[in-house]
Chains A and B, each alone.
Chain A
């Protein structure tokens, strides 16, 4: 009954706007769409943006993931099986990439989709950090407010278990998104697709992000001869972006001058984000990786390595802002923009926003560099690791009346041509993650050449955070104990002991068998890349 009520309300909502949509959408649709757009399309292309130099890179032929998605959406529309509108719930900060035209002369992504398919795209902004909350609310109350949810990739397992999102296997088979394309697709091919979009062997999400945590530094400081000399005199080696954690800590300490408004390194230490930086230190403790769980599901964090990583993590507060524990990324970005830090670790979009001539508030434009994550020497090789964390990923709501149309939108949006065009737009948070994105000139312009290559190499050294059922609970438990260690109310030993105890409890609740299967699948995606010393 609840379901019925919700769906009639949805119908009511859509009919009230139907008139407007038909009026705008119909002319484009009835005369196969692209009367205006077609002028600018390259030979053999059936759709895509026009009106700017290089637009042909984002146009597609009939036998491409984008082309198939558009054709399928049109035939749904012709058969009367398409909705008037698709409602997409999305974090506030990402909407711009879909609604703002980029570059000059181009249509917006939203306009292009509506023009080509006649299906209206309705984007509902969700405050950053509230994505999962809002989705859980919609699922548990049968709210039916969205056709598509966009949430952190870590939650995919949890969401799939609720039954609130649709298994997309059938649509993937029918419309062939080619996510594993060797030239254009996900890094790591099939393995990458499985990591980002699948849960227990089925597709539940479509990745729309590349949140590989990446390191940045201030080139003006690192290349200043005075600093170089002072550093070499003190430490006996040349000042350069750090390769090991030891170097990192020394360089951070060297640049840490709070009285001059400069902190050594501002990788986050707060609840909810800080543990991604703990991960990096922890995972590189063994070769090829120090895992979180053994293959039989035993937690490995309450160990010598876990305690050592935690101890380092706590010690590193010395070269942070005194407010580090209360800073989240908005403060981190603001501080870096005002020239307040020598190094930081952030989403790969930091240079796009802060090394940006249009950003009048940034004092670091032209002074940002990127480097690979620091690591540790094991034998004659070095392990350098970063983590994949957050990463917006879109799923189709089980309450959607038109799941296929919603999926087609995601296939179109998440395929390499449209996605490259979208991620190049500086108006939002969607970051590059496909091979085609890293190579795209427009993306490289927005994200900068120096950064794009480092990101691609960082991806090769990345391990995933927890993305199986209980992810939220596992992370919360770790998080709380790490913060307790940071504030000094617990020793690193106690923090790791407590985390292990909580993890055991959570594992029992999730079901150990299910968990072991998921841990093994997750582990397959861990990087085993080694660097020379």
Chain B
């Protein structure tokens, strides 16, 4: 049973993996023959998206994938930073001193709301502020839309954390802020790491927001990927898959790095006794 599920879940992933190494003749979106595994594996797809293909096959590639990768990294990381900073601070503030604030509810509503529905005012605002096609502008939106996750994950951890340690430090005369930065936060490192990974994945995956808020210099990986098509060969599936494979690297590396905490990190504190 588990093997079957695993096998099914692997099919699309392996399909992408194999596609990334297939030469054009085997992409076969439309031909008769289906190629499961590359018959003549090639690295051309990877070379192509970094602008080093010698093949004249494909209509000019004006932009290599390097810059979109950088744009994605910057926007997603900075967005994560914004969400985690504001979210952690608010979660701590609310968990320790907050009463009757409507922030938690507002944040849930924020997450619930389809970003598509606020895109018009957002585009107008961002154009006014000069933040269109700007990694920072994108990062701010990312920070805001993932803030609810950062907040709720961190709040449950703070709620969960025994207060005695903090109290002891307070009695010894540390200031509240010092307690937070020197004692609480270090203790929360595993929680911070797993929340940050989750938030990062959400930011990293986004297609819609980047589609509407970037035009040239800061298009992200998903937006760039949609432009990989040519009239010689149609959609460049191999190149897309190669890029998709590269795009999976950061989340996977981060995932491995914090594997230990990953499971504990997603309990939302729901299990404390």
Contacts and interface: CB of A to CB of B under 8 A. Distances in A.
A353 B30 contact: no
Contacts of A137: 123, 212
B193 interface: no
A2 B234 contact: no
A428 B234 contact: no
Interface in B179-238: 211-212, 215-216, 223, 226-227, 229-235
Contact of B28 (A128, A338, A353, A427): A338
A100 interface: yes
Given A260-B32, A338-B28, A359 B127 contact: no
B233 A93 contact: no
A356 B232 contact: yes
Contact of B235 (A331, A360, A361): A331
Given A93-B231, A261-B32, A361-B233, A145 B215 contact: yes
Given A134-B215, A349-B231, A125 B63 contact: yes
A333 B57 CA distance: 13
B124 interface: yes
A29 interface: no
Contact of A340 (B32, B127, B211): B32
Nearest to A145: B215
Interface in B55-84: 55-57, 59-60, 62-63
Contact of A427 (B32, B55, B60): B60
B212 A93 contact: no
B25 interface: yes
A127 B30 contact: no
B83 to A, nearest CB: 25
Contacts of B114: none
Interface in A70-108: 89, 92-93, 95-96, 99-100
A338 B34 CA distance: 13
A56 B24 CA distance: 38
Interface stretch (B5-13, B128-136, B159-167, B263-271): B128-136
Contacts of A95: 60, 62
B33 interface: yes
A5 B128 contact: yes
A93 to B, nearest CB: 6
B29 interface: yes
A93 B128 contact: no
B123 A334 contact: no
Contact of A93 (B28, B32, B126, B230): B230
A337 B216 contact: no
A159 to B, nearest CB: 18
Interface in B26-40: 27-33
A145 B219 CA distance: 14
A327 interface: yes
A133 to B, nearest CB: 8
B232 A124 contact: no
Nearest to B63: A125
A419 to B, nearest CB: 19
Interface in A120-140: 123-128, 130, 134, 137, 140
B232 to A, nearest CB: 5
A143 interface: yes
Contacts of B57: 358-361
A128 B229 contact: yes
B124 A334 contact: no
B49 to A, nearest CB: 14
Contacts of A262: 32
Interface class of chain A by DSSP: mixed
A265 to B, nearest CB: 14
Given A127-B223, A335-B30, A359-B57, A142 B233 contact: no
A455 interface: no
B132 A141 contact: yes
A99 B57 CA distance: 17
A9 B130 contact: yes
Contacts of A428: 59-60
Contacts of A216: none
Contacts of B223: 127
A261 B133 contact: no
Nearest to B60: A96
Interface in A314-332: 321, 323, 327, 329-332
B21 to A, nearest CB: 16
Contacts of B226: 127
A52 B123 CA distance: 47
Which residue among A93, A327, A358 has the maximum number of chain B CB atoms within 10 Å of its CB? A93
A429 B124 CA distance: 32
A391 interface: no
Given A124-B215, A349-B231, A358 B56 contact: yes
Contacts of B56: 358-360
A338 B31 CA distance: 6
Interface in B83-133: 123-124, 126-128, 130, 132-133
B227 A333 contact: no
Contacts of B63: 125
Contacts of A5: 128, 130
Given A127-B226, A327-B30, A427-B59, A333 B232 contact: yes
Contacts of B231: 93, 329-330, 333, 347, 349-350, 353, 429
Nearest to B224: A127
Contacts of B227: 92, 125, 127-128
A362 interface: yes
Nearest to A123: B62
Contacts of B233: 333-334, 337, 359, 361
Which residue among B24, B32, B226 has the maximum number of chain A CB atoms within 10 Å of its CB? B32
Complex A-B, nearest 4 residue pairs according to Cβ-Cβ distance, in ascending order: A261-B32, A334-B234, A96-B60, A335-B30
Given A333-B234, A335-B234, 8 more contacts: A5-B130, A127-B226, A141-B132, A323-B30, A330-B234, A340-B30, A360-B56, A362-B232
5 contacts: A141-B128, A330-B235, A334-B30, A335-B234, A360-B24
Interface of B: 24-25, 27-33, 55-57, 59-60, 62-63, 123-124, 126-128, 130, 132-133, 211-212, 215-216, 223, 226-227, 229-235
